[in-house]
Amino acid sequence: MGVQYFFNQNILVDLNFAPKIKSSSLQDVKMNIIKKLNKEKYFWESGGNFREIIEIINKSDSIGTLIIRLSEVVNKNYSGQ
């Protein structure tokens, strides 16, 4: 996934997950992400889409879908689309 920050430059991000994520349940992953987001809630709220992110997490039906949907929100937010 790439993110455009400035001067039409793209930064390619490669997500690497710890092996234990393969054995984590969807509910565990959701709970851990929400816990981390709430820990830095003021930062995430400053983006103006905190509730949308929480809704995406709660509605995702697989870990893969969750990652794709969250990356779409982040890319949309930072690419100015």
Q: What is the pLDDT along the chain (81 residues), one digit of tens a residue?
A: 444 455 556 666 666 667 766 678 999 999 999 999 999 999 888 888 899 999 999 999 998 899 889 888 877 755 554
pLDDT of the residue at 24: 83
Q: Is the pTM of this model over 0.85?
A: no
User: CA–CA separation, 34 vs 53, rounded Å?
Assistant: 9
4 burial via Cβ count (<10 Å: 0-12, 13-18, 19+): middle
Kindly list the domain boundaries of the chain, sorted by start residue: 24-79
Gap between the Cα atoms of 72 and 74, Å rounded: 6
